[in-house]
Amino acid sequence: MTNANLYALFQSRFPDDLDKPFLQQEDGACLSYGEMDQLSARMAALLTTRKITKGDRILVQVEKSMEAVCLYLACLRVGAIYLPLNTAYTAHEVAYFIGNASPALLVGNFPAQPLPSLTLDQLCAEAATCPPRHSVELMSSDDLAAILYTSGTTGRSKGAMLSHGNLASNALTLHDIWHWQQDDILLHALPIFHVHGLFVALHCALLGGSTVWFLPRLDADALIRLIPKSTVLMGVPTFYTRLLAHGGFTKDLCQKMRLFISGSAPLLAETFHQFEAITGQRILERYGMTEAGMITSNPYDGPRIAGTVGPALPDVEVRICGEDGRQLPAGEIGSLEYKGPNLFKGYWEMPKKTAEDMRPDGFFISGDLAIADQDGRISIVGRSKDLIISGGFNIYPKGIESVLDLLPGVLESAVVASPHPDLGEAVMAVVVRTDNSPLTEQDILDQLSDQLARFKQPRKVIFTDALPRNTMGKVQKNILRDQMKDIFKS
Ligand code: MCA
Ligand code: AMP
């Protein structure tokens, strides 16, 4: 059996010169390909000493760092399942993931947890004393590499199980269609706990044996400094609106840049056109999901059209269907469904939920509403799932409403998005108080602060006497959205 371990694939693509920088920072810190291989081998040795074996889950909640990338690679090397969490999650939220995934090891700051845990600093210090474990565990392409939690419409997150084969197929396809080259320099300012920053961005660079400018977070000044020394940028739409809002962003800076990629949330046509007017370059928008990585992409060569996400990737099948699952003709709006080697292995320990989202012929129901033109070019026009995307983070209103509804003084609530100039969409809560309750907006925000990650907390709370409902009793969120649509208009 050939080894389908994703790390073995990366190793086979390492540059000839192992001193070539893999990750580099503005402060001069640098990790070469050889050093990354060595550090991940030491971390792999440490995991083995700690009796971590194939299939064990390693839950990781740490700030973005070169060491954190090596820990991910070490997990691949030993066949452990990497489970990264947003650093903004509260202890309350993290407790759910720990309970659901039963990890063998926690890496991060977990003082109150009875399970074995290490901070990343402790892990690095212990790994430094271990002789490197250079072997790479033999894996089949269906063996799991990672579990990424994605919020559920029921408010409970589901762990999307991604195999070595899922990740490898998607990375190879993107590397190919985006014409990745060894001398590419990727500008990386995304978080590394989601598909976009961890898989799409880093895997393309790893397959190219390329160098990465590794920024701790989005900082428009740093992007302006580094764009002249880079060739590719991947970001959520907020990256591009912030660049455009920065007085120092000019065409001259972008002479070396060959590709600006956007995804995770809709890129406004206005942003696309403003960007082209300044730089002469057309942002390449692509569309994806945690459950599969990337699904469609605008072409590298050929027209990139604002408001569209391009055709299906070469090895992915996409169709637009009616509610009954029957394919609709081009030009009709329906549910976007897809299948391919990138499609996940299901939700961790939730076979019923997995089955609910699958068609009998293996297509996955994305929850996005889309339209295809005659050439198969897709536009995402809405969502059938009740989801808010704020700055590229997905937020399920139900998860916020269920916390709000339990607060004393709250009778019921509805959470909707308002268009926001920086974040795309911002969370708004509409609350009906119980009789005579003196509850204020601040009281509510204070009580949410240790229960919900900051990015999920409402930017505004509006009180009303009753929520609008249809004859079936369902809250008419479209009416609320319409009432709130100008709240953040600048
Ligand atoms: C930070 N805050 C946010 C967000 N980020 N609030 C709402 N939505 C957000 N996305 C809050 C902070 O808690 C803080 O609150 C205040 O906003 C400012 O925080 P700051 O750290 O300064 O924000 P930032 O560094 O400017 O971050 C904004 C950001 C960041 C650059 C948009 O959120 C980001 O990097 N987003 C990318 C997310 C991503 O990678 N998504 C890919 C998912 P306060 O001031 O009150 O404390 S993968 C995916 O969707 C699929 C697979 C795909 O297709 O890619
Ligand atoms: P996640 O659940 O974090 O994996 O986010 C996946 C969701 O992000 C998709 O189902 C879409 O709703 C949304 N998304 C990703 N890329 C795009 C895009 N280019 N345009 C519109 N929506 C997008």
Cα dihedral 230, 296, 177, 64, rounded to 10, equals 40
The pLDDT of residue 279 is above 90:
yes
Say how far apart CA 238 and CA 270 lie, in whole Å.
Answer: 13
- pLDDT (tens digit, 9 = 90+) per residue, 190-236? 999 999 999 999 999 999 999 999 999 999 999 999 999 999 999 99
Residue nearest to atom 47 of ligand 1 (CA): 454
Answer whether 197 contacts ligand 1 (Cβ < 6 A): yes
At residue 385, does pLDDT exceed 90?
Answer: no
Ligand nearest to the CA of 285: 2
Q: What is the mean pLDDT of residues 63-89?
A: 98
Query: Which of the listed residues 294, 368, 383, 425 should we mutate to test ligand 2's pocket, taking the one with most ligand atoms within 8 A of CB?
Result: 368
Distance 287 CA to ligand 2 centre (A): 6
The tokens for 406 are: 């339990």
pLDDT of residue 471: 85
The predicted pLDDT at position 151 comes to 79
Q: pTM for the whole thing? A: 0.95
Give CA–CA dist 92/456, Å, rounded: 14
Query: The domain at 387-484 falls in which architecture?
Result: 2-Layer Sandwich (3.30)
Distance 234 CA to ligand 1 centre (A): 15
Residue range(s) occupied by CATH 3.40.50.12780 in the chain = 1-383
Identify the nearest ligand to the CA of 222 by its number.
1
Q: Choose which CATH entry (3.30.420.40, 2.30.110.10, 3.40.50.12780, 3.30.360.10) describes domain 1-383.
A: 3.40.50.12780
Model confidence at 69: pLDDT above 70: yes
- What number of other Cβ atoms are within 10 A of residue 433's Cβ? 19
Q: What is the mean pLDDT of residues 408-429?
A: 96
Which atom, in ligand 2's list, is nearest to the CA of 393?
3
**Per-residue pLDDT at 111:** 87
Q: Check whether 390 has a pLDDT greater than 80.
A: yes
Residue predicted with more confidence, 67 or 490: 67
Residues 6 or more apart in contact with residue 99 via CB below 8 angstroms: none
Question: What pLDDT is stored for residue 473 in this prediction?
Answer: 86
Rounded CA gap, 349 and 158, in Å?
9
CA 422 to ligand 1: nearest atom: 32
SS3 120: helix
Weakest-pLDDT range from 51-60, 131-140, 155-164, 331-340? 155-164
pLDDT of 32 > 70? The answer is: yes
pLDDT band at 113 (very low <50, low <70, confident <90, very high): confident
Q: Which atom of ligand 1 is nearest to the CA of 236?
A: 37
Residue with CA nearest ligand 2 atom 22: 265
Q: What is the mean pLDDT of residues 158-180?
A: 98
pLDDT at 156: 80
CATH 3.30.300.30 domain position(s) in the chain = 387-484
Cβ of residue 288 lying under 6 Å from some atom of ligand 1: yes
